[in-house]
Amino acid sequence: AAGVIQSPRHLIKEKRETATLKCYPIPRHDTVYWYQQGPGQDPQFLISFYEKMQSDKGSIPDRFSAQQFSDYHSELNMSSLELGDSALYFCASSPRGGALDSPLHFGNGTRLTVT
Amino acid sequence: DAKTTQPNSMESNEEEPVHLPCNHSTISGTDYIHWYRQLPSQGPEYVIHGLTSNVNNRMASLAIAEDRKSSTLILHRATLRDAAVYYCIRGAGGGADGLTFGKGTHLIIQP
């Protein structure tokens, strides 16, 4: 079965640069979530989108922005990168706005390293 | 604020049942209990979720206390592939709100 696809798998950037992470949800999933997981940390919710509109916001820095496109894929844009942004970034998707019987399906993440 | 409490780690033997506890004493009447697990170098994986009644699926069983202040994830016959961090999360059962991961339980399976 198709899974959530994230690209790139690995990304290395320098401080103050920008980065764009992409997420392709499972077909027919209309809801996308972004999570950040620092080294040795638990996943932290950043932001979610339903039907191309922002739905919920977590601990996303102002330097980050995200959007969901008409084909339901999503992009997380990160500017003025800091060393502390080095982390695994996971995207998850679910169908029907995250309905009661619809769990989140996670991708395998993008590992961002800021040097 | 995750508002759930789990042991930091647990150890079990292969092919034995595993009971992973979770306390959520301040749970509201509409909050579901979700369980996800994360294997090394992978994204979290859905395990099971429930509201009031016990739930079973192909991966596990979820036993929810009558007062809903605690729950137990049951792996009926652990394998080495079940070694992971298990997260108990309380949250709304639907909608596009993000689930808040807290400190999960690191399950170690001994051969």
With CA atoms as reference, the chain A residue closest to B42 would be A108
d(CA B86, CA A69): 32
d(CA B93, CA B67): 18
A32, A67, A110, B5, B101 from A48: Cα distances, Å: 6, 9, 17, 25, 15
Q: Residue ranges of chain B with pLDDT lower than 50?
A: 1
d(CA B94, CA A50): 12
Radius of gyration of chain B (CA): 13
List CB contacts of A24: < 8 A, sequence separation 6 or more: A4, A5, A6, A7, A73
Task: Give SS3 for A83.
Answer: helix
CB neighbours of residue B101 within 10 Å:
23
Partners of residue B44 in chain A, C-beta under 8 Å: 43, 90, 92, 104, 106
Beta-bridge mates of residue B31: B92
Pairing of strands B55-56, B45-50: unpaired
Give pLDDT, residue B98: 81
The residue-averaged pLDDT of A93-111 equals 84
Residue burial B13-48, b: 16+ Cβ < 10 Å; e: rest: eeeeebebebbbeebeeebbbbbbbbeeeebbbbbb
Q: Which of A9, A37, A91, A100 to mutate to test the interface with B (most CBs of B within 10 A)?
A: A100
pLDDT tens digits along A24-74: 999 999 999 999 999 999 999 999 999 999 988 999 999 999 999 999 999
Binary contact (A92, B42; C-beta < 8 A): no
